Structure 1
Amino acid sequence: MSRSQSTRGAVVAVTGGAHGIGRAIACRFAAAGAHVAIGDTDLAAAQEVADQPGLHAYGLDVTDTGSFTDFLDAVRRDLGPVDVLVSNAGLMWVGSFDEEPESAARAQLSVNLLGVINGIKAAAPAMRRAGHGHLITVASAASLLPTPGEATYAATKHGVLGYLKAVRMELRGSGVEVTAVMPAVVDTTLAAGTGTGSAPLLQPTDVARAVVAAADRPRFEVTVPAYIGPLTRMVNLLPQAMRDRLFGTMVPDQVTEVRAEARAGYEGSFTTSRPARPAAGSAAAE
């Protein structure tokens, strides 16, 4: 899609579209008149969402390049060339960096970072040949902020933003737009049991609204709420000590705020057990 074009009639592919933010994005695009392909590992849930008009369900594992190729091939066969790819699939483990299981770190890197890379590599060449298209990635405010308790998650989101910056420069003049949407904490299973800091708790529809607006009028960096972007840029001009104090008031410390019991079911779906924290005054075995 080119600048200031309507999404009506566009073919939109959304990864991780069966739940949470992805589901809200898919439904909002469909309501705007787009033909929407939901790709998700949970095909049954995707098919439930696809009962609504304008929505179509497909199985997709973003960590598997063959699965991504098959997904996009099926979408092109059923709906036509993909105008917009929304990379939304993501995982988050929360807690102290030195207590994070290796399986959790690997899962986040595979889905959050390599999943985005796989999708862009699979979708961008056809868009470039066609002379139009839009690569939209749901990153996170963690792409910009220091986020204690989300070290690996933040690393993947910083990596996504860096990757998109480079891809955007490579695609200049091709007609293919690139957008990073970076929301604060959203009321989804991924964020269950976490704090929000000074920002309000967002709803999936807030992010969906920003994504569809960016598709209609492309911009590279979109933060939700909008003030996070300019505020972060201003704070980063200050000396480190002042930055630390201000970010400390803005950003939740998930090491101390997380309610691990509220996350056990979700994190257990992609990782081994959370290591037990030693009781106060006791010595951990080495």
Structure 2
Amino acid sequence: MTGELDGRVVAVTGGGRGIGREIARQLLAAGARVAIGDIDGDVARGTADEFGERASGFDLDVTSTPSFEAFLSAVEAQWGPLDVLVNNAGVMWVGPFDEEPESAITRQLAVNLHGVIRGVRLVAPGMRSRRRGHIVTIASAASRLSPPGESTYAATKHAVLGYLTGVRAELRGSGVHLSVIMPAVVDTELAAGTATGAAKLLEPGDVARAVVAVLHKPRFEVTIPSYIGPLTRLVTAFPQFVRDAVMRKMVPDQVSATDKSARAAYESRSVADENDTGPA
């Protein structure tokens, strides 16, 4: 797909690996110019080098306002004002709530929630003044669901959806679009060792295609698979015991199902190290 995206300036956070990398690849194929921001700047630049001249890689720590400002300034200096921001950077710790390290809680809030808020606050005012722009945030089906073992992660994603719902109301009529992509479990390092529940395991390309599609035809909420959104709304009409039974069928219990050994390297790097946001 090309057309509306030809020559558009797009920034992708956490774009060096996983979902972010695939989003960047598909946006380039759609004709955009893509700035890949990542906590590991060498990975971001290496990915951009692989993708060609319409891609550039930059250092970006979404937990730091100066870093985010420097990233956006560098992108604008190279290509001009930003047309699209894809908030993709995210981290996840999995396990019993009472065993979750304080550092993991702090890190998830800083990256998953405050990183998104920071990006919106830095980018949306300029888009509003130009009366055009689109901010796409990669959230999670955990914005609507709360799997056991992912309580803090789900809290950050619920909060992201709530925040963007309010900002969207403030931006109504401004020409700035907001979209929230909420996929089930995606086959990336972030989800290593976890279970998928009733939904099939998604690929990064599934999420990237949703991003390209929503840029062509803006929508606020996009769930992958698409049935998740209507089903979660329907279930809320049932009595609590029915809701609980349905959710136990749909949503995996990550406390009992997760292989922590398969997650050890990822969690050590992404939620224990204060210098790494990791890929979404």
> What TM-score does the superposition give when structure 1 sets the normalisation length?
0.93
Alignment of 1:99-178 (within 5 A): 99-178=99-178
Q: Matched residues in 2 for 1:71 and 1:255: separation?
A: 37
Residue 50 of structure 1 contacts residue 57 of structure 1 at CA under 8 Å; is this kept in 2? yes
- Correspondence for 1:12 among 2, 10, 14: 10
In the alignment, structure 1 residue 38 sits paired with structure 2 residue 44 = no
Q: Is 1:197 the counterpart of 2:218 in the alignment?
A: no
Cα distance, 1:272 vs structure 2:
4.6
Q: Is the 8 A contact 1:134 1:215 kept in 2?
A: yes
Partner of 1:222: 222
> What secondary structure sits across from 1:85 in the alignment?
strand
SS of structure 2 residue aligned to 1:50: helix
Distance 2:270 2:102 in 1: 11
Runs of 4 or more above 3 Å deviation? 270-273
> Which whole-Å CA distance do the structure 1 matches of 2:3 and 2:105 have between them?
39
The gaps in structure 2 that reach 5 residues or longer are 274-280
User: 1:84–1:135: 8 Å Cα contact kept in structure 2?
Assistant: yes
Whole-angstrom distance in 1 between the partners of 2:138 and 2:145: 15
Q: Indicate conservation of the 8 Å contact 2:91/2:271, yes or no.
A: no
Instruction: Give the match's secondary structure for 1:17.
Output: coil
Query: CA contact under 8 A between 1:5 and 1:217: conserved in structure 2?
Result: no
Q: Specify the alignment match of 1:250 in structure 2.
A: 250
Q: Give the Å deviation of 1:146.
A: 2.3
Counterpart for residue 270 of structure 2: 270
Alpha-carbon distance in 1 for matches of 2:176, 2:131: 7
1:171 and 1:155 mapped to 2: Cα distance?
A: 24
Supply the AA of the counterpart residue of 1:35.
Answer: R
CA offset digits 1:126-151 (Å, max 9, x no partner)? 10000000010000000001211000
**Secondary structure of 2:222's match?**
strand
- Counterpart of 1:277? none
User: Are 2:76 and 1:76 equivalent residues in the alignment?
Assistant: yes
For residue 39 of structure 1, give the secondary structure of its aligned residue in structure 2: strand
Structure-2 separation of matches of 1:174 and 1:67: 27
Residue equivalent to 2:94: 94
Paired amino acid for 1:131: R
The Cα shift of 1:48 comes to: 1.4
SS in 2 for 1:170: helix
Secondary structure of the corresponding residue to residue 68 of structure 1: helix
TM-score by length of structure 2 reads 0.95
Residue identity matched to 1:141: A
Q: Deviations over 1:157-215 (max 9, x none)?
A: 00000000000000001000000000000000000000000000000000000011001
Deviation at 1:270? 3.5
Letter in structure 2 aligned against 1:90: G
CA contact (8 A) 1:84 1:136 kept: yes
Which of 45, 48, 60 is 1:47 aligned to?
45
| Amino acid of the structure 1 residue aligned with 2:254 | Q
**Residue range with higher mean Cα deviation, 48-57 or 24-33:** 48-57
User: Post-superposition shift, 1:271?
Assistant: 4.0
Higher normalized helix content (fraction of residues): 2
Percent identity among equivalent residues? 60
Q: Distance in 2 between matches of 1:271 and 1:42?
A: 15
Larger radius of gyration: 1
Indicate conservation of the 8 Å contact 2:92/2:271, yes or no.
Answer: no
Residues 222-263 of structure 1 show CA distances to partners (whole Å, capped at 9, x for unaligned) of: 001111111111111111110000010000000000000000
CA contact (8 A) 1:38 1:57 kept: yes
Contact 2:5 2:30 in 1 (8 A): yes
